């Protein structure tokens, strides 16, 4: 009989139920969209922030002090220490290897360049000294843990480097030349350049023009193997840029790991703070000094935290509005049913029974409306995610449970006050229309 009453109520007033349901679905759609976006945004934005480039710098511990002005190191070549390139695949074996999204070693050699004549008859242009930067463009590394190849290179660690033409290929004698260098020497893609350091020389083919806005605009960039050959430093590099996805640092992350209790230390080690990733890289690559590029890392953390807080507040406001509107809707649907309640009471239903019946109706509505709203919200969240980040947020069970729970809570709360008043209704005056 109870179920029949509920079913009858839906059947008899379909339009009202439909509208209350629609309000519910729309309200919960808001909640789902906002929640899905906000839960997903941290990871997405962290990835986006990698367009600022590397946030970790690895240098030899025993290095002499770099004399770097405006991005150019004025040290003599023989000064300072070098690191073995063969160790680099180990970076993908640290605990947070999935968070390391790119790395590229750098070996810089001061060289003399001569532009090869286009025809035999024309003369050699006078030589010009510049720096030759050896690095990776598309280097693939075999990762034993994942059984996949990981491709990395300088265009991933320094995404603002743009190349007109194409990047050099690592196993050919190719190079890209800086835009300023190209302008000064009048070289174009396809030309050949002779680079020399002492008695070692190499002819390189220009495959692209590089523009970075920094000192690299005056340099020649080629594969690290060629730079190693010319500088006579086989298998070595001087500095390594690492771009890692990190969690913004909080007060806990800023504490000194040495002063932590073992439990705290484990927590620190197992959180992708930039300091713990730096520490793990240092363990993996002995003899190195891993430094956090504070300018990138700290700005990133600050902005990420702000944006996340902002979106949580937007979500909170959206939830509040949805809750109020849905609550109002269900309150209205109870208010208008005084006659019906009066009739039920006149027929002998107790206040509890009436309340229970109406609550069951509202809950059923909440389930259906909440479910539809969840589906609607997921679709909208996908649209936002795809439009903005090119990737949709994964629907999670958590959001579903929260949304259904919220729908139930809001409808019940919205109907609670009018229901209490309804339970005090005397049937006779209502039925008489007073």
Binding residues for other proteins, total number by CB under 8 A? 87
Helix and strand numbers, DSSP H then E, in the chain: 12, 16
d(CA 395, CA 35): 10
Q: Which of 317, 346, 391, 398 binds other proteins (CB under 8 A)?
A: 317
CB closer to other proteins out of 126 and 144: 126
d(CA 281, CA 275): 10
Q: Which of 318, 392, 413, 431 binds other proteins (CB under 8 A)?
A: 318
Q: Is residue 341 close enough to count as binding other proteins by CB under 8 A?
A: no
CB-based contacts of 314-322 (< 8 A; 24+ apart in sequence): 314/34, 314/38, 315/31, 315/34, 315/35, 315/37, 315/38, 318/30, 318/31, 318/33, 318/34, 319/30, 319/31, 319/34, 319/406, 321/27, 321/30, 322/26, 322/27, 322/28, 322/30, 322/31, 322/410
Nearest Cα to 228, choosing from 124, 331, 105, 333?
A: 105
Q: Which of 14, 198, 302, 401 binds other proteins (CB under 8 A)?
A: 302
Binding to other proteins (CB under 8 A): which residues in 130-159?
A: 130-131, 158-159
d(CA 265, CA 255): 10
Nearest Cα to 52, choosing from 141, 161, 125, 203?
A: 161
Q: Is residue 204 close enough to count as binding other proteins by CB under 8 A?
A: no
Binding to other proteins (CB under 8 A): which residues in 100-129?
A: none
Q: Is residue 258 close enough to count as binding other proteins by CB under 8 A?
A: no
Q: Which of 30, 104, 175, 244 binds other proteins (CB under 8 A)?
A: 30
Q: Is residue 340 close enough to count as binding other proteins by CB under 8 A?
A: no
Q: Is residue 347 close enough to count as binding other proteins by CB under 8 A?
A: no
Q: Is residue 333 close enough to count as binding other proteins by CB under 8 A?
A: yes
Q: Which of 1, 3, 11, 74 binds other proteins (CB under 8 A)?
A: 74
Q: Is residue 320 close enough to count as binding other proteins by CB under 8 A?
A: yes
d(CA 10, CA 21): 11
CB closer to other proteins out of 141 and 431: 431
Q: Which of 12, 166, 267, 291 binds other proteins (CB under 8 A)?
A: 291
Q: Select from 17-25, 138-146, 240-248, 341-349 the region that touches other proteins (CB under 8 A).
A: 17-25
Q: Which of 299, 350, 405, 429 binds other proteins (CB under 8 A)?
A: 299
d(CA 63, CA 60): 5
Q: Which of 207, 243, 288, 329 binds other proteins (CB under 8 A)?
A: 329
The minimum distance between CB 24 and other proteins, in angstroms, equals 8
CB closer to other proteins out of 71 and 405: 71
d(CA 174, CA 4): 81
**Direct distance between the N- and C-terminal alpha carbons of the chain, in angstroms, rounded to an integer:** 29
Q: Is residue 356 close enough to count as binding other proteins by CB under 8 A?
A: no
Q: Is residue 53 close enough to count as binding other proteins by CB under 8 A?
A: yes
Q: Is residue 306 close enough to count as binding other proteins by CB under 8 A?
A: yes
Q: Is residue 16 close enough to count as binding other proteins by CB under 8 A?
A: yes
The minimum distance between CB 421 and other proteins, in angstroms, equals 8
Give Cβ neighbours of residue 223 (< 8 Å, ≥ 6 apart).
134, 135, 136, 137, 168, 169, 170, 171, 174
CB closer to other proteins out of 20 and 137: 20
284 neighbors 94 (Cβ within 8 angstroms)? yes
Structure tokens, 47: 């990835």
Binding to other proteins (CB under 8 A): which residues in 383-412?
A: 384, 387-389
Structure tokens, 118: 């286009």
d(CA 363, CA 369): 10
Q: Select from 87-95, 261-269, 320-328, 344-352 the region that touches other proteins (CB under 8 A).
A: 320-328
CB closer to other proteins out of 13 and 247: 13
The neighbour count for residue 148, using CB atoms within 10 Å, is 12
Q: Is residue 298 close enough to count as binding other proteins by CB under 8 A?
A: yes
């Amino acid at each position: 009989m109870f179920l029949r009453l509920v079913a009858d109520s839906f059947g008899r007033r379909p339009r009202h139920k439909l509208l209350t349901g629609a309000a519910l679905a729309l309200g919960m759609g808001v909640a789902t969209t906002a929640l899905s976006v906000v839960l997903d945004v941290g990871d997405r934005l962290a990835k986006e922030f990698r367009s600022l480039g590397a946030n970790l710098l690895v240098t030899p511990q025993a290095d002499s002090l770099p004399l770097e002005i405006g991005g150019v190191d004025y040290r003599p070549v023989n000064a300072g220490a070098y690191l073995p390139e063969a160790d680099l695949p180990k970076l993908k074996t640290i605990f947070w290897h999935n968070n390391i999204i790119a790395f590229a070693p750098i070996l810089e050699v001061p060289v003399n360049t001569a532009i090869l004549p286009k025809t035999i008859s024309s003369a050699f242009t006078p030589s010009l000294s510049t720096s030759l930067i050896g690095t990776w463009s598309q280097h693939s590394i075999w990762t034993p843990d994942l059984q996949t190849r990981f491709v990395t290179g300088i265009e991933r660690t320094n995404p603002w480097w743009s190349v007109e033409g194409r990047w050099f290929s690592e196993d050919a004698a190719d190079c890209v030349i800086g835009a300023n260098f190209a302008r000064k020497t009048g070289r174009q893609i396809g030309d050949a350049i002779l680079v020399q350091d002492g008695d070692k020389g190499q002819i390189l083919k220009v495959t692209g023009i590089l523009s970075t806005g920094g000192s690299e605009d005056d340099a020649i960039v080629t594969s690290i193997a060629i730079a190693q050959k010319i500088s006579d430093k086989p298998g070595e590099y001087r500095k390594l840029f690492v771009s890692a996805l990190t969690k913004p640092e909080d007060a806990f992350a800023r504490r000194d790991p040495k002063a932590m209790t073992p439990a705290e230390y484990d927590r620190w080690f197992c959180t992708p703070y930039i300091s713990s990733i730096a520490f793990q890289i240092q363990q993996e690559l002995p003899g190195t000094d891993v430094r956090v590029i504070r300018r990138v890392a700290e700005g990133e953390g600050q902005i990420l935290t702000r944006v996340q807080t902002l979106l949580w507040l937007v979500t909170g406001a959206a939830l509040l509005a949805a809750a109020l509107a849905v609550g109002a809707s269900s309150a209205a649907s109870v208010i208008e049913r005084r006659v019906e309640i009066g009739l039920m009471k006149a027929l002998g239903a107790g206040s509890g029974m009436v309340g229970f019946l109406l609550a069951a109706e509202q809950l059923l509505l909440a389930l259906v409306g909440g479910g539809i709203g969840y589906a609607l919200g997921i679709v909208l969240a996908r649209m936002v995610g795809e439009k903005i980040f090119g990737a949709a947020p994964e629907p999670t069970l958590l959001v579903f449970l929260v949304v259904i729970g919220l729908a139930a809570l809001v409808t019940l709360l919205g109907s609670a006050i009018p229901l209490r008043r309804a339970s005090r209704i005397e049937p006779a005056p209502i039925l008489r229309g007073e």
